[in-house]
């Protein structure tokens, strides 16, 4: 039974240089039509693939808070009427520091949103300009203060490292500033230069100067050290939380569980099928108008693929993969499926087996992609 939903809002008031998510400039876009179409998609999907109750909902983007307070109110009121969210434990929305006015926060609070994910990336204002962000350090401080004053008690900040011009010392200062704000959760990701981004074009032209690999490794090591000092638990490779504030929605992905994906470009996983919606807004809206599912492509996940996904996604979690739970879910033991790979990675010091769990080591964290690759396309159908 599906217990989670992701909702995509593709609108942005500006486009960051590193972002390859499905997004469009907000100006002159049919936002009201999109909100109505999004609600229609939810209604039709729930009729086709019903569920009893959702426990987590995540609204991402794009920039969800690029919507006006009225548009957010229409969206959230519609969601409450369509989705079974009476038992939702974690209801998250992504916000930008410079689009988080009090009237919008009041709407979010009114409709039961209880977790904010604020896109900070850095507190270094020169660095922010260099990556195409428009907010300032002060606007981040104001956003957190304002959110807390209105009763939001679960706030996460997104940070980035490995950015052009960033040093380990500068990243350490950013971590300290984030921790000093008294938030409950931090996500920190290294820059990946993706196609169809400003940074990709600059890199092709030889104009993008990134930190050396040793410096990027140092930044990650600093991240692990400083969050640990501040009593944040690293529960996943890139995510750190105070006790009890781990992201339940993200754990849906890492536990290989199913979830609805609503909106232009959204991905979902329902009834054993992974799917992706049309990304371009006109195609998405046209499909909704035609009373058809706005799906671009879909793939039925085979039993072997489910096993492999469960292994490499489960290893992203610091508590790893429980061998008994794995066998109970998939009917095969971890050792039967991946004994050779686990043995090899143990000898290299990248994995460890303890307390009946297969877990990535501190050294393995630095080579995590190499670890995960060992579990992809290795089993026979």
For Cα atoms 7, 12, 14, give the angle at the middle one, nearest 5 degrees.
155
CATH fold for domain 4-254: pyruvate-formate lyase- activating enzyme (3.80.30)
For the chain, the average pLDDT equals: 95
- Stretch(es) of the chain classified as CATH 3.80.30.20: 4-254
How many residues does the structure list for the chain?
381
When pLDDT is cut at 50, 70 and 90, the band that residue 32 belongs to is very high
d(C-alpha 191, C-alpha 194), whole Å: 9
Q: Which residues contact 162 (CB under 8 A, 6 or more apart)?
A: 190, 191, 210, 211, 216, 219
With 90 as the cut, is the pLDDT of residue 212 above it? yes
Q: CA torsion sign, 171 to 176 to 182 to 186? A: positive
What is the mean predicted confidence (pLDDT) over 170-184? 97
Please state the φ and ψ torsions of residue 353, each to the nearest 5 degrees: -115, 115
Percent of the chain with pLDDT over 90: 86
With 90 as the cut, is the pLDDT of residue 51 above it? yes
Please state the φ and ψ torsions of residue 181, each to the nearest 5 degrees: -75, -10
d(C-alpha 121, C-alpha 129), whole Å: 11
pTM score, two decimals?
Answer: 0.95
Distance of CA 17 to the CA centre of its chain: 18
d(C-alpha 29, C-alpha 55), whole Å: 32
Could you identify the residue written with the tokens 């006006």? Answer: 68
CA terminus-to-terminus distance, the chain:
25
What is the mean predicted confidence (pLDDT) over 21-50? 92
- Stretch(es) of the chain classified as CATH 1.10.10.920: 303-373
For Cα atoms 147, 90, 328, give the angle at the middle one, nearest 5 degrees.
155
CATH number 3.30.565.10 is the correct assignment for the domain at 303-373? no
Q: Which residues contact 171 (CB under 8 A, 6 or more apart)?
A: 122, 161, 219, 222, 223
- Consecutive H or E run containing 267: strand 267-270
With 90 as the cut, is the pLDDT of residue 24 above it? no
Q: Copy the structure tokens of residue 137.
A: 């350090």
User: How many other β-carbons are positioned within 10 Å of the β-carbon of residue 199?
Assistant: 23
pLDDT at 193: 87
Contact 154, 123 (CB under 8 A): no
Asked if the peptide bond before residue 265 counts as cis, ω within 30 degrees of 0, the response is no
CA dihedral 219, 220, 224, 229 (to 10 degrees): 10
Contact 242, 270 (CB under 8 A): no
pLDDT at 20: 67
When pLDDT is cut at 50, 70 and 90, the band that residue 26 belongs to is confident
Q: CA torsion sign, 254 to 257 to 259 to 264? A: positive
Q: Alpha helices, DSSP H only, in the chain?
A: 31-48, 69-82, 102-110, 125-130, 137-149, 168-180, 198-204, 213-229, 248-254, 281-289, 303-314, 323-330, 334-347, 362-366, 368-373
């Amino acid at each position: 039974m599906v217990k989670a939903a992701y909702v995509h809002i593709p609108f942005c008031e500006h486009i960051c240089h590193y972002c390859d998510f499905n997004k469009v400039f907000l100006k002159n876009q049919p936002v009201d039509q999109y909100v109505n179409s999004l609600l229609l998609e939810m209604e039709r999907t729930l009729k086709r693939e019903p569920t009893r109750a959702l426990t987590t909902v995540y609204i991402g983007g794009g920039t969800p808070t690029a919507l006006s307070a009225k548009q957010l109110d229409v969206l959230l009121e519609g969601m409450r009427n369509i989705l079974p969210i009476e038992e939702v434990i974690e209801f998250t929305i992504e916000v930008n520091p410079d689009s988080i006015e009090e009237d919008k926060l009041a709407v979010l609070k009114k409709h039961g949103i209880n977790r904010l994910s604020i896109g900070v990336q850095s507190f270094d204002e020169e660095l922010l300009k260099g990556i195409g962000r428009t907010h300032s350090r002060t606007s981040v401080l104001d956003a957190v203060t304002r959110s807390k004053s209105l009763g939001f008690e679960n706030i996460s900040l997104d940070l980035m490292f490995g950015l052009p011009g960033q040093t380990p010392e500068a990243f350490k200062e950013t971590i300290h500033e984030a921790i000093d704000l008294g938030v409950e959760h931090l996500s920190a990701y290294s820059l990946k230069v993706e196609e169809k981004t400003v940074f990709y074009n600059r890199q092709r032209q030889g104009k993008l100067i990134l930190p050396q690999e040793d410096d990027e490794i140092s930044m990650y090591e600093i991240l692990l050290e400083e969050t640990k000092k501040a009593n944040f638990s690293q529960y996943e490779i890139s995510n750190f939380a105070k006790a009890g504030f781990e992201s339940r929605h993200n754990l849906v992905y890492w536990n290989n569980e199913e979830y609805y994906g609503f909106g232009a470009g959204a991905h979902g996983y329902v009834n054993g099928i992974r799917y992706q919606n049309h990304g371009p807004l006109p195609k998405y809206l046209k499909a909704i108008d035609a009373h058809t599912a706005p799906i671009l492509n879909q793939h039925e996940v085979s039993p072997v693929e489910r096993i492999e996904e469960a292994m490499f996604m489960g290893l992203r979690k610091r508590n790893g993969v429980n061998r008994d739970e794995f066998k109970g879910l998939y009917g095969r033991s971890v050792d039967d499926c991946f004994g050779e790979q686990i043995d090899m990675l143990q000898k290299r010091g990248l994995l460890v087996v303890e307390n009946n769990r297969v877990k990535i080591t501190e050294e393995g964290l630095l080579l995590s992609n190499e670890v995960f690759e060992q579990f992809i396309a290795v089993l026979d159908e």
